């Protein structure tokens, strides 16, 4: 990802340890997480069903828990750690320069598609 364009995201101290916030970069939701003083960024959409992971909970062990069905993802690797999610979320490359966080978007995206309709009758 080193040939990617970096975008200014936020001041380096904008997200205190143990917290996460959502930002928008090129119309994409990006989660910025501060886990034990380290910053991580990933696509802020659960791969199981559309919901923003930043509305969930940051758990011990560097995982984020989806607020809808409880799937968990590793904040550093994006790997799905529990069902119902089976696919990880794309992580974004970060760099910190002069007190500012910059992100290079991963070209991989979470496919959101349309919601399924319930069958009736």
Kindly report each contact of residues 17-25 with a partner whose C-beta sits within 8 Å and lies 24 or more positions away, as own/partner: 18/58, 19/58, 20/53, 20/54, 20/58, 20/64, 21/54, 22/52, 22/54, 25/103, 25/105
Residue 4, pLDDT score = 75
pLDDT in tens, 2-50: 467 999 999 999 999 999 999 999 999 999 999 999 999 999 999 999 8
What is the set of domains in the chain, with CATH numbers? 6-104 (2.102.10.10)
pLDDT in tens, 54-78: 999 999 999 999 999 999 999 999 9
State the Cα angle at 63 between 89 and 99, rounded to 5°.
85
């Amino acid at each position: 990802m080193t040939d990617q364009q970096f975008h200014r995201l936020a001041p380096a101290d904008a997200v205190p340890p143990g917290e996460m916030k959502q930002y928008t970069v090129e119309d994409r939701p990006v989660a910025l997480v501060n886990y034990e003083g380290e910053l991580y960024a990933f696509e802020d959409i659960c791969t199981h069903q559309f919901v923003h992971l930043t509305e969930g909970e940051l758990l011990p062990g560097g995982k984020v828990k989806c607020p809808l069905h409880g799937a968990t993802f590793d904040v550093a690797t994006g790997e799905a750690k529990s069902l119902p999610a089976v696919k990880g979320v794309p992580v974004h490359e970060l760099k910190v320069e002069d007190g500012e966080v910059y992100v290079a978007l991963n070209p991989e995206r979470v496919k959101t598609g349309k919601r399924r309709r319930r069958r009736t009758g």
